[in-house]
């Protein structure tokens, strides 16, 4: 029995770690509309009907493959990284193996058929998208009666797994918007086992709380690090459980971290736009400067927080106030919207879908985080839907208890104003086109922004692809260091020292082509945090006596970290 528990635990951990590679700090802002999917499917069917030769070639090949499957002479096998067919039952049972091989053969031929069709690039991308979703949905691993692991679980538990699976499904239908739950939320609580690094809220306005963390070294560097998290999801991704908290690491280096916690807006805040957020950020920056007595901050932003940070830098430059910032750190952040549209999902982003998304959030006042999560789930259905479908419903297991997935499910809303501003960036590309974005009456011109900059990307990041993030580094100019970490989106950031599999590449962002950069960059074993910590020490001014407590007379403590805004539903 202990072996079974160990196996279940390992399976849950594998599911969680795999899904964590696909967590989201900036969810897709354009809804996946049924009419767009229907239109893409219709275009695909018409192309198949008008180009029968492409279909004929693949289906003749499929007939040959299926003949070999029936005669048990087929050598078709899943990719060894394909977790859907990892259970030994798929190969030990002739019936199950035949179903698996038939599916794999069909899926391959269907995908190849779509590739052979003569379609315009945009239509081809849409065809690939709807086809991949259809193929993933039809996998026999998603079928209770075809999945040997699910049937084995049924008999070994005397039917209890089926009862548990049904309960899980009913719970998700009523409490999770119909999607399989990705995490056991009962195992986590913010302020108790997440976001527990000591600190105080030292500034609060209608939009933000500013958390000043308590120093735990005798001396600290005078210049603070101001962290600007994404507006979607709560800020505590930088302060997860002890051992993988970025804040915990920074404090040990003698750095003074200050972190913004954005308020979770409601419909009454529908008018909050980029100007609202930038002005609130500026107030937080002033508070950190006053408390520390420093003349400038180092400032860090990830994903949409990096977009906000960059807008702030341009806003300061437009007013000759660039001196407030000493250096910039950007993580998994894409500023060139044209560099980020290389996925098939981007083919569904059209002026019509953007306008529809604007109208939807405008009518409701906000863009709900759960709606965005559903959109993202269908971008990677195997990772974010079907593996939980199998685990929760077919196997009857509880969803995994993994802190990163808890954070990912702790979504927030975007006010209609800010949502509209983000959507406008898709087509105006304001960071490459000076004057396209105006914030508080000031035109944003990134050519006027000049800081030493440190940019981090992840090798397997599907949300902000590393080559697109490299363009962000190039945008910030010649004094930019680019770090490429060997993980996905959030996992590339939550990369504390001690992981034996961790490595990163480092180099100046001088090459125009990211592949050229990769050839010339230096590979380092271990976590990039160590390099980051040393870099921050050189940018953070002299060592001074650590403050006895967070805050100052002008900015006294208003309450304990993690504050109050982080708990707003």
What phi and psi, each to the nearest 5 degrees, are found at residue 326? Answer: -95, -45
Instruction: Give rounded-to-5 percent helix, strand, coil for the chain.
Output: 50, 15, 35
**Helix or strand (DSSP H, E) at 367:** strand 366-367
In the predicted model, residues of the chain with pLDDT beneath 70 are: 1-34, 340-348
Res 463: pLDDT:
80
Q: What b-and-e string marks burial along 239-257, b requiring 16 or more CB atoms within 10 Å of the CB? A: bbeeebbbbbbbbebbbbb
pLDDT in tens, 516-528: 999 999 999 999 9
User: How far apart are the C-alpha atoms of 461 and 480, rounded to whole Å?
Assistant: 20
In a domain, 237, yes or no: yes
Helix H, strand E, coil C: the string for 32-57 is: CCHHHHHHHHHHHHHHHHHCHHHHHH
Angstrom distance (rounded) from CA 486 to CA 46: 42
- Catalytic residues, by residue number, are 303
| 91 located within any domain | no
**Structural domain span for residue 232:** 199-336+429-567
d(CA 526, CA 497): 7
How far, in Å, are 84, 145, 172, 300, 401 from residue 395 at the CA level? 13, 11, 15, 42, 16
419's tokens: 């949502």
Burial grade of 279 (CB within 10 A; 0-12, 13-18, 19 or more):
middle
* Residue 366 counted as domain residue: no
Is 323 contained in some domain? yes
Please tell me whether residue 282 adopts helix, strand or coil conformation: helix
Looking at residue 238, the DSSP 8-state letter turns out to be: G
The answer to whether residue 192 sits within a structural domain is no
Name, in order, each residue with C-beta under 8 angstroms of 47's C-beta and a sequence gap of 6 or more.
117, 118, 119, 123, 127
Cα 505 versus chain centre, distance: 21
Q: CB burial class (10 A; 0-12, 13-18, 19+) of residue 356? A: middle
Residue 301 backbone phi and psi in degrees, to 5: -140, 145
DSSP state of 546: P
Please report whether residue 207 resides in a domain: yes
Helix (H) / strand (E) element for 19: namely helix 2-20
What lies within 8 Å, CB to CB, of 27 at 6+ separation is 232, 369, 372, 373, 375, 376, 411
CATH number at residue 322: 3.40.50.1820
In a domain, 211, yes or no: yes
pLDDT at 352: 79
What is the distance between the alpha carbons of residues 331 and 304, in angstroms, rounded to a whole number? 10
- Lookup result for tokens 């899926």: 107
User: Rounded to the nearest 5 degrees, what angle is found at the Cα of 546, between the Cα atoms of 541 and 550?
Assistant: 110
Q: How many domains does the chain have?
A: 1
E strands of 374-499, at which residues? 414-415, 438-439, 442-443, 452-458, 480-485
In terms of phi and psi (left: phi > 0; alpha: psi -120 to 50; beta: otherwise), the region of 159 is left
The pTM (predicted TM-score) of the whole model is 0.90
Q: Which residues, at least 6 apart from 201, have a Cβ–Cβ distance to it below 8 Å? A: 209, 210, 211, 212, 261, 557, 558, 559, 560, 561, 563, 564
Question: Does residue 284 lie in a domain region?
Answer: yes
Residue 145, Cβ neighbours under 10 Å: how many? 9
The pLDDT tens digits for 277-312 are 999 999 999 999 999 999 999 999 999 999 999 999
């Amino acid at each position: 029995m202990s072996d079974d528990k160990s196996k279940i635990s390992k399976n849950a951990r594998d599911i969680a770690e795999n899904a964590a590679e696909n967590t989201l700090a900036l969810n897709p802002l354009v809804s996946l509309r049924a009419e767009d999917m229907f239109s893409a499917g219709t275009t695909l069917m018409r192309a198949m009907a008008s180009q029968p030769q492409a279909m004929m070639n693949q289906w003749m090949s499929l007939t040959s493959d299926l003949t070999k499957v029936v005669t048990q002479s087929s050598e078709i096998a899943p990719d060894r990284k394909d977790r859907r067919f990892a259970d030994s039952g798929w190969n030990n049972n002739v019936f199950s193996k035949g179903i698996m091989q038939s599916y794999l053969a069909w899926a391959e031929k269907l995908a190849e058929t779509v590739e052979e069709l003569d379609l315009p690039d945009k239509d081809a991308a849409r065809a690939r998208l709807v086809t991949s979703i259809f193929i993933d949905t039809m996998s026999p691993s998603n079928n209770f009666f075809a999945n040997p692991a699910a049937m084995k679980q049924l008999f070994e538990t005397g039917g209890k797994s089926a009862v548990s699976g049904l309960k899980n499904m009913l719970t998700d239908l009523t409490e999770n918007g119909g999607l399989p739950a990705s995490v056991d939320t009962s195992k986590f609580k913010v302020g108790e086992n997440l976001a527990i690094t000591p600190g105080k809220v030292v500034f609060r306005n209608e939009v933000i709380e500013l958390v000043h963390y308590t120093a735990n070294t005798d001396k600290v560097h005078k210049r603070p690090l101001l962290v600007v998290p994404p507006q979607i999801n709560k800020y505590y991704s930088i302060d997860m459980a002890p051992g993988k908290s970025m804040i915990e690491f920074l404090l040990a280096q003698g750095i003074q971290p200050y972190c913004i916690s954005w308020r979770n807006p409601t419909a009454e805040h529908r008018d909050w736009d980029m100007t609202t957020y930038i002005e609130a950020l500026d107030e937080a920056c002033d508070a950190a400067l006053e408390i520390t007595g420093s003349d400038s901050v180092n400032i860090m932003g990830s994903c949409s927080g990096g977009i906000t940070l960059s807008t702030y830098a341009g806003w300061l430059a437009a007013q000759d106030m660039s001196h407030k910032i000493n250096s910039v750190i950007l993580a998994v952040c894409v500023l060139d919207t044209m560099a980020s549209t290389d996925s098939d999902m981007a083919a569904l982003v059209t002026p019509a879908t953007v306008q529809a998304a604007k109208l939807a959030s405008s009518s409701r006042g906000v863009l709900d985080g759960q709606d965005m999560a559903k959109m993202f789930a269908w971008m990677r259905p195997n990772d974010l839907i079907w593996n939980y479908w199998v685990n929760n419903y077919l196997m009857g297991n509880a969803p995994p208890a993994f802190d990163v997935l808890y954070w990912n499910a702790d979504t927030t809303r975007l006010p209609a104003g800010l949502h509209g501003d983000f959507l406008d960036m898709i087509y105006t590309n304001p960071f490459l086109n000076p004057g396209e974005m105006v914030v508080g009456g000031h035109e944003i011109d990134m050519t006027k922004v000049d800081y030493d900059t440190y940019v981090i990307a992840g090798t397997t990041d599907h949300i902000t692809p590393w080559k697109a993030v490299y363009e962000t580094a190039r945008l910030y100019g010649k004094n930019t260091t680019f770090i490429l970490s060997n993980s996905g989106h959030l996992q590339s950031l939550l990369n504390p020292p001690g992981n034996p599999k961790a490595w990163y590449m480092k180099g100046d962002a001088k090459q125009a082509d990211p592949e050229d950069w990769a050839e010339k960059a230096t590979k380092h074993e271990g976590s990039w945090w160590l390099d980051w910590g040393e870099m921050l020490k050189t940018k953070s001014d002299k060592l001074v006596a650590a403050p006895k407590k967070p805050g100052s007379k002008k900015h006294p403590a208003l309450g304990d970290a993690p504050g109050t805004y982080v708990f707003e539903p």
